Amino acid sequence: DSEDEAPDKQLKIVIMGDGASGKTSLATRYSQEQFGRQYKQTVGLDFFLKRIVLPGGVHVALQVWDIGGQTLGGKMLENYIYGANGILLVYDITNVASFENVEDWYSNIKKVFGRDTKIPHIALVGNKIDLEHMRTVKMDRHQKFAQEKGMSSHFVSAKTGDNVSLCFQRVAAEILGVK
């Protein structure tokens, strides 16, 4: 079955964004199909592997990196996103500051990659859609930012699991040009 087959591709996906935006919850949800239990202590750089199959039978091993509660400055950010194929920029839809910080993360990422090298696929991920009634980051603002920067756009809930697998699938498909 898909678990045993050698992957055609391996992709490095990194999750970044503000503390408390739900990065660790998202990683936990995706890696273990559960919410609220720490799959590891948040002590810094860590990753898990997830094997998926894309349309057309493309087997992919996703190496998903989560920085947990850390904030990354200059050189650390560089080390972390080195070799990344995709970056998920996660914010909390009920927290405007977390969205504004994602704008900063975006600029920092661009700085690291400069103008020449291959820039990874960047995905804008609004988390906590189970709290839609408390949304403070307007849909328009999200869509405009994503469009301007050529990011793919996603809304998920790490709590309920809504769209979580789909988000990673779509990012992997986008990177590999799989329709």
What are the residues binding ligand GDP (CB under 6 A)?
19-25, 36, 68-69, 127-128, 130-131, 157-159
Taking the least distance from each CB to ligand GDP, the nearer of 27 and 60 is 27
The stretches of the chain forming alpha helices (DSSP H) are 23-32, 74-81, 96-113, 139-149, 164-176
CB neighbour class for 22 (10 Å; exposed up to 12, middle 13-18, buried from 19): buried
Which of 41, 104, 38 minimizes the C-alpha distance to 77? 104
Tokens standing for residue 15: 């999750």
Question: C-beta of 68: minimal distance to ligand GDP in Å?
Answer: 5
The length of the chain, given as a count of residues: 179
Taking the least distance from each CB to ligand GDP, the nearer of 85 and 98 is 98
Tokens standing for residue 16: 């970044």
Question: C-beta of 131: minimal distance to ligand GDP in Å?
Answer: 5
Q: Is 3 helix (H, G, I), strand (E, B) or coil?
A: coil
Q: What's the sign of the alpha-carbon dihedral 145, 133, 165, 21? A: positive
Q: Are 9 and 135 in contact (CB under 8 A)?
A: no
Structure letter (DSSP) for residue 67: -
Taking the least distance from each CB to ligand GDP, the nearer of 22 and 86 is 22
Question: C-beta of 24: minimal distance to ligand GDP in Å?
Answer: 3
Question: C-beta of 83: minimal distance to ligand GDP in Å?
Answer: 22
Taking the least distance from each CB to ligand GDP, the nearer of 101 and 169 is 101
Question: C-beta of 19: minimal distance to ligand GDP in Å?
Answer: 4
Taking the least distance from each CB to ligand GDP, the nearer of 24 and 152 is 24
